[in-house]
Amino acid sequence: MPYQKKYLELLSKEFPTVQAVSTELINLSAILNLPKGTEVFITDLHGEYDAFNHYLKNASGIIKEKIELLFSDLSEKKRNQIAFFIYYPTDMLNKYKTLLDKDKYKVLIKNQLFYMVRLAKNIVSKYTKSKVSKTLPNEFSYIIQELVYESRSHEDKSKYYDAIINAIFKTKRENKFILQLSRFIRALAIDQLHIVGDIFDRGPKPHLIMEKLLRMKNVDIQWGNHDIAFIGASCGSNVMIANVIRIAARYNNLDTFEDGYGINLIPLARLAEKYYRNDPCKEFYPKDSSNINNLEDLSFIARIHKAISIIQFKLEGEVIKRNPTFDLDDRLLLDKLDFNKNQIKISNQYFDLLDSNFPTIDKKNPYRLNKEEQEVINHLNQLFLHNEMLQSHARYVIEKGGLYLLYNYNLLFHAALPLTNDGSFAQVEINGSKYSGKALFDHFDKKVRTAYYNRYDSLNGDKDVFLYLWQGKYSPLFGKSAMRTFERYFIGDKKTHREDKNPYYKYREKEDVLKRIYQEFGLDYKKSKIINGHVPLDITKGEQVVLANKHVYTIDGGMSKQYADKTNIGGYSLISDSHAYFLVSHERFDTYKKLIEKEEDIITVTRSEELNKSRTYIYDTNKGEELKSQINDLFELLNAYRSGDIHVFQDK
């Protein structure tokens, strides 16, 4: 077949000789028989950089677990010390340099190096030398390889090994070596990190999380509703720009944009001061005001919060009106305001307003931005579109992310597969076509990407999809019947705040419905799992996290401090290694300095353990399927070389 021959000719440029092909075949065949790498699933980070950074450093408890196994003869205090030298090497070196005299410090560091090398030996055992070498720091690559691959059992080798350690001290490189070795251990402890949505919003430092992720390669992201708002804002969707700033104001995190991304909010602040200076804006006080020193600062944030909220409601109206198939007409509320009675009419019922000061709303055209509002949103639009740091983060989330992921036969998505009340797949009409199930995910995924890659086109209609994904009835990222943002701000009657969950949350425990979902995505019901986030659950309160006979894991434990009143814990990690699945709950994170002071990690408790019937190897994974395909192609190329159908490639 001509196409097959063309492909083999292209492949021959990478493997130009029989020897090169044979070597790669041997290498790939060996890799197939290595144990599956450790996967960690985590979700709903919500800007909590310090907690997330700690979970990366301790590999969600994996490193401590290995230390417990390898050094069971040591005291708990000593094992904790070993762990913290790996988590926070610089801080620990500084700590003990102050506490100990020179000789005791040297003994401590020398012993620590031996412990770390032994741990590194254990961790690299499931990887090829090639993968290990790619992770090694350039400065100490040769030394680390010698230490982790050489045995100390033979007397000569033991002397050689000890000589390397002593030389590190003589050259005064022990601190730098510990730093690099700790990074090497942390990098290999997790083979693949899955973030099942919601990096952004609520917490103060999503930009720092993104800077951390930019330096990592073994990451995938399943977009959450708050991620999609960030992507939409980066695409220049005005309604999403207003939305992310509103949420930042609501949680007192405007510094995320002003200091983190360098977004100038002064024009918005001026607008707020002009129209709301004498407005108490009490309904718009931020959720967390613990770091606000005085009432004036509190009121200032509240005014900004109200100003951007009104802008958002107006912009939502524009998008809803030009997209009738979104079925969001119930969100058109500004034209239902009765300015004389200070009430609003919803579903033929009048409700009193908690706040009836709307100086920028034109009664005749309530969804039209006034001149200053339009100038503010135009200003913000350009800042978001042309902010280098923000755009680099959005590009990473796009390239590493998607609405769902099939990985090692598991299905990962953030919130819900939209279902109707009878448990069937919900159909959504978009541009005259109807989509449901996997096709709905795929269509929305494509729309997000086209919106992003055409973000500088002011006529790009795909940007409207972000509003639907944020709050549409059948959005896979929202998972509720409606978003009652306006009602929560302006109406005291709680019944207007109700947001019903999509039937997915009821039916995902029904075997017949689950089997249809599995079939829709080509999953094996006997061994595959669905992994979600989005809804904070607390197993310490008896809430079920592992559902449907371990077919569904819902792993949002409320990492955000804003959920402290809902969950006693600070998040979950789901860990899948070659032996088992572990669901680990984490205590709420305070500060890493307090942890270092006590040298006691936040307690991690394994609440669910599912042992594999047999150890999982790479040939059992989706990576293994890719490698098997590559092996088949290489055998085809090898046969073509030997038959003379393809000549040995020579670069002219």
Please, which pLDDT band fits residue 222 given cuts at 50, 70 and 90?
Answer: very high
On whether both 487 and 589 belong to a single domain, the answer is no
pLDDT confidence of residue 160: 75
Q: CA 460, CA 240: separation in Å to the nearest integer?
A: 14
Q: Is residue 29 part of a domain?
A: yes
Chain position carrying tokens 């980070």: 45
Q: Is residue 226 part of a domain?
A: yes
Q: What is the pLDDT of residues 596-642, one digit of tens each?
A: 999 888 877 776 778 777 888 888 888 888 899 999 999 988 888 88
Q: Is residue 416 part of a domain?
A: no
Domain boundaries, position 464? 222-388+427-497
Residue 303 · residue 265 · CB < 8 Å: no
Residue 241 · residue 230 · CB < 8 Å: no
Residue type, 581: Y
Which of 38-42, 155-159, 289-293, 416-420 shows the lowest mean pLDDT across its residues?
A: 155-159
On whether both 446 and 567 belong to a single domain, the answer is no
Residue 387 · residue 527 · CB < 8 Å: no
On whether both 238 and 350 belong to a single domain, the answer is yes
Would you say residue 290 has pLDDT above 80? no
Q: Is residue 109 part of a domain?
A: yes
pLDDT confidence of residue 650: 52
Instruction: Summarize the confidence of residues 177-206 as an average pLDDT.
Output: 92
To the nearest whole number, what is the mean pLDDT of the chain? 90
Strand order in the sheet with 39-42: 401-402, 219-222, 192-195, 39-42, 569-576, 580-587, 604-611
| Percentage of residues in the chain having pLDDT higher than 70 | 97
On whether both 237 and 374 belong to a single domain, the answer is yes
Phi-psi region of 547 (alpha: psi -120 to 50; beta: other; left: phi over 0): beta
| Cα–Cα distances in angstroms (integers) from residue 583 to residues 61, 572, 577, in the given order | 11, 7, 12
Tokens encoding 478: 């929202």
On whether both 261 and 376 belong to a single domain, the answer is yes
Residue 435 · residue 428 · CB < 8 Å: yes
Q: What are phi and psi of 279, to 5 degrees?
A: -100, 125
Residue 250 CB-density burial (10 A; 0-12 exposed, 13-18 middle, 19+ buried): buried
Please, which pLDDT band fits residue 152 given cuts at 50, 70 and 90?
Answer: low
Count of domains observed in the chain: 3
Q: Is residue 153 part of a domain?
A: yes
Q: What is the pLDDT of residues 491-521, one digit of tens each?
A: 999 999 999 999 999 999 999 999 999 999 9
Please, which pLDDT band fits residue 155 given cuts at 50, 70 and 90?
Answer: low
- Alpha-helical (H) ranges within 323-412 are 371-385, 388-400
Residue type, 498: R
Q: CA 563, CA 45: separation in Å to the nearest integer?
A: 12
pLDDT confidence of residue 255: 93
Question: Would you list the DSSP string of 615-637?
Answer: --BGGGSHHHHHHHHHHHHHHHH
On whether both 245 and 343 belong to a single domain, the answer is yes
pLDDT confidence of residue 1: 54
Would you say residue 326 has pLDDT above 90? yes
Helix, strand or coil for residue 522?
coil
pLDDT confidence of residue 6: 84
Q: Positive or negative CA dihedral for 19, 22, 26, 32?
A: positive
Would you say residue 151 has pLDDT above 70? no
Q: What is the pLDDT of residues 46-63, one digit of tens each?
A: 999 999 999 999 999 899
Q: What is the pLDDT of residues 421-471, one digit of tens each?
A: 999 999 998 888 899 999 999 999 999 999 999 999 877 778 999 999 999
On whether both 588 and 456 belong to a single domain, the answer is no
On whether both 152 and 229 belong to a single domain, the answer is no
Please, which pLDDT band fits residue 157 given cuts at 50, 70 and 90?
Answer: low
pLDDT confidence of residue 651: 46
On whether both 242 and 313 belong to a single domain, the answer is yes
Instruction: Summarize the confidence of residues 524-534 as an average pLDDT.
Output: 92
Q: Is residue 323 part of a domain?
A: yes
Which of 84-88, 402-406, 626-630 shows the lowest mean pLDDT across its residues?
A: 626-630
Please, which pLDDT band fits residue 360 given cuts at 50, 70 and 90?
Answer: very high
CA nearest to 178, candidates 98, 132, 117, 131: 117
Q: Is residue 202 part of a domain?
A: no
Please, which pLDDT band fits residue 579 given cuts at 50, 70 and 90?
Answer: confident
Instruction: Summarize the confidence of residues 379-384 as an average pLDDT.
Output: 97
Q: Is residue 204 part of a domain?
A: no
Query: Where is the domain boundary, 497, 520, 545?
Result: 497
Tokens encoding 53: 């950074």
On whether both 595 and 631 belong to a single domain, the answer is no
On whether both 266 and 348 belong to a single domain, the answer is yes
Tokens encoding 485: 């943002």
Residue 441 · residue 448 · CB < 8 Å: no
pLDDT confidence of residue 462: 87
Please, which pLDDT band fits residue 8 given cuts at 50, 70 and 90?
Answer: confident
CA nearest to 315, candidates 244, 255, 223: 244
Q: CA 383, CA 385: separation in Å to the nearest integer?
A: 6
On whether both 481 and 581 belong to a single domain, the answer is no
Instruction: Summarize the confidence of residues 287-304 as an average pLDDT.
Output: 84
